[in-house]
């Protein structure tokens, strides 16, 4: 499976919201790419809350959501930055290696 991260940034021109809509895959290997986008979005229209919407993502690993939340909670103070929240899908899968079909030799 190709785990590419796709993000759409929605900015309300009236300053009501900033949303990062993730439509690709968020994994433990690529979650660090999303954090700088959130950090920059938080300074666009202060003090608006930035929402990271993972509900439309194709694949979300539980560990990646935890790492992203940890990074946002432990972010150093940025002058004028608003808060950020993460909307995770209802069912988040833990990373499991792909299963391979191994043929069983015929016993006869």
Domain of 14? 7-87
Q: Tell me the residue length of the chain.
A: 108
Let me know if residue 2 belongs to a domain: no
Q: Which residue has the higher pLDDT, 33 or 80?
A: 33
For the domain that residue 62 is a member of, what is the CATH number?
3.30.750.24
Q: Which residue has the higher pLDDT, 83 or 19?
A: 19
Provide the pLDDT for residue 7: 94
Averaged pLDDT, 68-78: 84
pLDDT surpasses 90 at 105: no
Provide the pLDDT for residue 97: 47
Express each pLDDT in 4-60 by its tens digit: 899 999 999 888 899 999 998 999 999 999 999 998 998 888 788 899 999 999 889
Averaged pLDDT, 73-88: 83
pLDDT surpasses 60 at 95: no
Let me know if residue 78 belongs to a domain: yes
Q: In the sheet that 18-22 helps form, which strands lie side by side, from edge to edge? A: 7-11, 18-22, 50-53, 84-87
3-state SS, residue 51: strand
Let me know if residue 1 belongs to a domain: no
Burial class from Cβ neighbours inside 10 Å (0-12, 13-18, 19+) for residue 40 reads middle
Let me know if residue 107 belongs to a domain: no
Domains in the chain: how many in total?
1
Let me know if residue 102 belongs to a domain: no
């Amino acid at each position: 499976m190709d785990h590419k991260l796709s993000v759409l940034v929605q900015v309300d021109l009236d300053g009501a919201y900033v949303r990062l809509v993730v439509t690709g895959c968020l994994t433990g290997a690529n979650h660090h790419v999303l954090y700088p986008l959130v950090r920059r979005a938080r300074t666009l229209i202060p003090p608006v809350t930035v929402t990271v919407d993972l509900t439309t993502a194709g694949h979300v690993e539980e560990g990646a959501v935890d790492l992203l939340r940890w990074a946002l909670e432990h972010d150093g103070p940025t002058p004028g930055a608003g808060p950020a929240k993460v909307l995770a899908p209802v069912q988040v899968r833990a990373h499991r290696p792909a299963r391979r079909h191994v043929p069983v030799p015929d016993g006869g």
